[in-house]
Structure 1
């Protein structure tokens, strides 16, 4: 029973940190250009492609 007194606050703190990280990513515009990644992966004009 004593372990629950330790694990419950730890889990609440970790959940709160995860929520803060998610809110930060929303405010930092991390999810603004969802279409761009889809188009960039299909384009052939990569400069970092290995030469054959």
Structure 2
């Protein structure tokens, strides 16, 4: 039972620290723009250019797989 007298204030102190850290992060602007960092990875990629000389329809003509009779 005496451990409760130690753990209760310790847990309240820890919770208070988390609340203070949250308010400090909000005050510093950590939560101002939540959408742009997630989209930045999609917008940074350069589009790939297809350098193949043959089109998809021509590729099917030279297919080496056995055909059904």
Query: What is the TM-score when the length of structure 2 is the normalising length?
Result: 0.60
Listed as ranges, the gaps of 5+ residues in structure 1 are 46-52
Where do 4+ consecutive residues of structure 1 move more than 3 Å?
Answer: none
The alignment's C-alpha RMSD in Å is 1.1
Give yes or no for the alignment of 1:3 onto 2:16.
no
Listed as ranges, the gaps of 5+ residues in structure 2 are 47-69
Question: Which structure has the bigger radius of gyration?
Answer: 2
Q: What is the aligned partner in structure 1 of residue 26 from structure 2? A: 26
Query: What is the TM-score when the length of structure 1 is the normalising length?
Result: 0.78
In the TM superposition, what is the alpha-carbon distance from 1:38 to its structure 2 partner? 2.1
Question: Higher relative contact order at CA 8 Å, sep ≥6: structure 1 or structure 2?
Answer: 1
